[in-house]
Amino acid sequence: MRRKQKWLVNGIIGYLLLLLVFTGLAPFFTPYEPGAVGLSAVLQPPSAAHLFGTDELGRDVFTRLLYGGRVSLAVGTAAMLISVVIGAGYGAISGFVGGMIDRVMMRVLDALISIPSILLMIGLQIFLPHSLTAVVLIIGMTSWMPIARLVRTETLSLKGEVFVQASAVVGASSRQLLTRHLLPQCLPTITVMSVSGISHAILSEATLSFLGLGIPPHEPSWGNMLMGVQNYVLSGIWWIAVFPGLFITLTVLAVTFLGDMLQDRFALPQFRKGERLL
Amino acid sequence: MIKFIASRLAEAVIVLFIGSILCFAFIRMLPGDPATAMYGDQLLKMSQADQMRIVENLGLNEPLYTQYAKWLINVLHGEWGHSYTTGEEVKVMVTRAIEPTVVLMLSSTVIILLLSLFFGMVTGLRRYSILDHAVTIASFLFMSLPSFWFALMLMLFFSVYLGVLPTAGIGKEGAGDWLKHLIMPSLVLALAHIGYYIRILRNHIAIIKEKEFVWALQARGVSQRKILFKHLLPNASIPFLSFIGMSLSLTLAGSVVVETLFSWPGLGRLSLKSALAHDYPVIMATILLCMSVVIIGSFLIDLLCAWIDPRLRNQLMKEADK
């Protein structure tokens, strides 16, 4: 695997860079507007004029993919950041304080983990208005639990280390201990978790939007483009479904591989048990 | 042993208890108080005394913990209220939806077990072979596929182009029809998580394979097959089993998507439908039910693991004694 890994790494990084360039500079790569409705060219199959065809309103699928990529990637990253902040904070506090509070916090975590994530998102969705920010918040607030658990375990074992105890002895406050010693030590774990968190968030956004619980329809996103395509697929109109899904899959795959390689690089023992898979 | 079971059971009960508090808090935070939800605009037209009486009848003037206790007793008695949209009893709606979901989950579990045991073993024994690379790539691919899109692609291929598999509902015309309807949904549900199972089994088989006791067995001339089935598999089965416990909630979440796509009349579809219609009592019931299933399921899997593996059992019993 070692020798072959190099082209894999290059390929993945190349794909992600290309994606960033294409979505970031979308107007330079397409003559169409993402929202431009063309009722004379509805549901056209892929052609020279419309690389990936047009959808049920005559909008260019390729254009919407580029613009939608912006939304999907941004939502994925923002949601991941939220979940990392909540997760790392929760885990560090729980592990650092210990005792009864730790036990209660962990049982609350267990309870939250045992609610299937989509149901949790559906539940949260009731309280938040239907918007882009809401989707980011919902995904962020429902995916921090694995990070919290890992950070807690790590904080717990770090707490006993000599250098932490030494700085406690010389009078470092709890806050200093947490922010200067414990959390920085957890950084490799957090980095790996946040990379895989992006792929989770992209998938969640796609699923939520597909189910009609996600991003409002006027804003193109990869998940959104797939909303309501089932009937078209069943009548054989494949292009409006195939391309967005392909991009989601490729991107998630690339990010997942990236996370996997980072994890190898850091050689983190706590990931060997397969825990990161949740 | 009893002490260990008791401590695990206590843990599960505590988690269930906390979960029920979360659910109760969720209900109370819902927009609109229960009195308004019940009487709507009529409430505003009533006299002050009537309003007070309603609040009293609903028990809304009591302290929160009494309200919670009463609510919990109702929930445990299966009184989950009535659906806002159909007026039907929630208990009836939910019970009706349980069987299809169980069928779907069982069939996908069978697929997962068969495929991941085979591929996990083969790739674990022959790491870095061509087959291993192929399976690794396929596992990562399935982990990255949005399951709803995968379902759409299967429909496109098997239903639209080949026209061999139906796309919606449960088959009612004999066993063949039933099976035909079951294939795609359970395949989607299974393949969404199969990559994890294969990877876990592969990695553990590969680690255990290099242990000294395996060398000793090989040196004594024990057959490869016997080593595999009597020694490697049982040792690797513990992480595998505990992952089944952990992924119960993933599978349930997956069933929301799969059931919706394939119009499968189960719990997942029910919960999504009620969410879109803001039918709170039904959402609440499905969330509570799924949560309980996951907690009880992982409790049982924990016990199973401890029963299979004496080392784990001893360690856990020691922890329980502390």
- Residue pLDDT, tens place only, B190-228: 988 888 889 888 888 888 888 888 899 989 988 888 888
ipTM: 0.84
Give the mean model confidence (pLDDT) for residues A156-177: 86
Q: Is B272 exposed, middle or buried (0-12, 13-18, 19+ CB in 10 A)?
A: buried
Which of A203, A212, A229 is the closest to B146 by Cβ? A203
Which of A117, A119, A125 is most worth mutating to test chain B (most B CB atoms within 10 A of its CB)?
A119
Q: Using an 8 Å Cβ cutoff, are B200 and B240 in contact?
A: yes
Which chain B residues are Cβ-neighbours of A256 within 8 angstroms?
140, 143-144
Among partner residues B19, B140, B290, which is closest to A111 by beta-carbon distance?
Answer: B19
- Radius of gyration (Cα) for chain A, nearest Å? 22
Burial grade of A262 (CB within 10 A; 0-12, 13-18, 19 or more): middle
Facing B15 at nearest CB: one of A114, A120, A199: A114
Backbone CA torsion sign across B315, B319, B321, B322? positive
Burial of A7 (0-12, 13-18, 19+ CB in 10 A): exposed
Contact status, residue B247 vs residue B196, Cβ threshold 8 Å: yes
Interface with chain B: mutation pick from A112, A247, A277, highest number of B CBs within 10 Å: A277
Domain parsing of chain B, residue ranges: 2-76, 91-321
Per-residue pLDDT tens digits for B127-177: 888 888 889 888 888 888 888 899 888 888 888 888 777 778 777 777 777
Q: Which among B141, B286, B295 has the least Cβ separation from residue A119?
A: B286
pLDDT over threshold 60, residue A272 = no
Give the 3-state secondary structure of residue A39: coil
Q: Which of residues 221-260 of B touch A (CB under 8 A)?
A: 239, 243, 246-247, 249-250, 252-253, 256-257, 260
Number of residues that this document lists for chain B: 322
Of B19, B257, B287, the CB nearest to A123: B287
Fold of A2-35+52-272: MetI-like fold (1.10.3720)
For A60, the 3-state DSSP assignment is: strand
Cα–Cα dist B221/B218, whole Å: 5
Which residues are paired to B55 by β-bridges?
none
pLDDT per residue over A11-52, tens digit each? 888 888 988 888 888 777 777 777 777 677 776 777 777 677
Contact B116, B197 (CB under 8 A): yes
Q: Verify whether the Cβ–Cβ distance B253 to A116 is below 8 Å.
A: yes
CB count, 10 Å around CB of A248?
A: 29
B157 shares contact with chain A (CB less than 8 Å)? no
- State whether B167 and A234 contact (CB < 8 Å): yes
Least Cα separation, residue A176 to chain B (angstroms): 32
Mean pLDDT of A89-107: 90
The C-alpha atoms of residue A89 and residue A148 are separated, in whole angstroms, by: 7
Please report residues of A whose CB lies closer than 8 A to that of B143: 256
Is B153 in contact with A199 (Cβ distance < 8 A)? Answer: no
Mutation site, A4, A12, A105, A115, interface B, largest B CB count within 10 A: A115
Of B14, B31, B250, the CB nearest to A107: B14
Q: Where are the domains of chain A?
A: 2-35+52-272
Partner residue opposite A117 with nearest CB, options B140, B147, B253: B253
Q: Does B278 touch chain A (CB under 8 A)?
A: yes
Contact A274 B200 (CB under 8 A): yes
Exposure on the CB side of residue A76, measured as CA atoms within 13 A? 26
CB contact under 8 A, B276 and A245: no
Determine whether the interchain pair A274/B283 forms a contact, defined as Cβ–Cβ distance below 8 Å. no
Task: Enumerate residues 22 to 81 of chain B having a beta carbon within 8 A of any beta carbon in chain A.
Answer: 22, 26, 29-31
Sign of CA dihedral B218, B224, B227, B233: positive
pLDDT in tens, A117-133: 888 888 888 788 778 88
At residue A85, the pLDDT reads 94
Q: Which has the minimum average pLDDT: A53-57, A142-146, A232-236?
A: A53-57
Q: Which phi and psi (to 5°) does residue B223 adopt?
A: -65, 150
pLDDT digits (tens, 9 = 90+) for B65-116: 888 888 888 888 877 777 777 778 888 888 888 888 998 999 998 999 899 9
**Record: contact A211-B291, CB cut-off 8 A:** no
Contact call for A248 and B146, based on CB within 8 A:
yes
CA distances from B249 to A101, A235, A256, B91, B267 (A): 26, 33, 21, 21, 13
As a whole number of angstroms, the longest Cα–Cα distance in chain A is 76
pLDDT (tens digit per residue) in B264-310: 888 888 888 888 777 778 888 888 888 888 888 888 888 888 888 88
Residue B300, chain A, CB below 8 Å: the answer is no
Tell me which chain B residues have a C-beta less than 8 angstroms from the C-beta of A213.
275-276
Are the Cβ atoms of B133 and A1 closer than 8 angstroms? yes
Q: What is the pLDDT of residue B38?
A: 61
| pLDDT at residue A277 tops 50 | no
Q: Do A256 and B143 touch (CB under 8 A)?
A: yes
B-chain CB neighbours of A274 within 8 Å are: 196, 199-200, 203, 239, 243
Residues A92, A175: Cα–Cα separation, whole Å: 11
The label of the residue with tokens 């022959």 reads: B126
Helix (H, G, I), strand (E, B) or coil at A128: coil
Of A113, A234, A256, the CB nearest to B144: A256
Residue ranges of alpha helices (H) inside A25-171 are 26-29, 61-97, 99-113, 117-125, 132-142, 145-159, 162-169
B89 strand-pairing partners? B82
Record the pTM: 0.84
Count of helix runs (H) and strand runs (E) in chain A: 14, 0
Determine the Cα–Cα distance for residues B238 and B241; give it in Å rounded to an integer.
5
Tell me, letter by letter, the H, E, C secondary structure of chain B: CHHHHHHHHHHHHHHHHHHHHHHHHHHHHCCCCHHHHHHCCHHHHCCHHHHHHHHHHCCCCCCHHHHHHHHHHHHHCCCCCECCCCCCEHHHHHHHHHHHHHHHHHHHHHHHHHHHHHHHHHHHHCCCCHHHHHHHHHHHHHHHCCHHHHHHHHHHHHHHHCCCCCCCCCCCCHHHHHHHHHHHHHHHHHHHHHHHHHHHHHHHHHHHHCCHHHHHHHHCCCCHHHHHHHHHHHHHHHHHHHHHHHHHHHHHHHHHHHHHHCCCCCHHHHHHHHHHCCCHHHHHHHHHHHHHHHHHHHHHHHHHHHHHCHHHHHHHHHHHHC
CATH of B91-321, one of 3.40.50.2300, 1.10.3720.10, 1.20.1250.20, 1.10.150.530: 1.10.3720.10
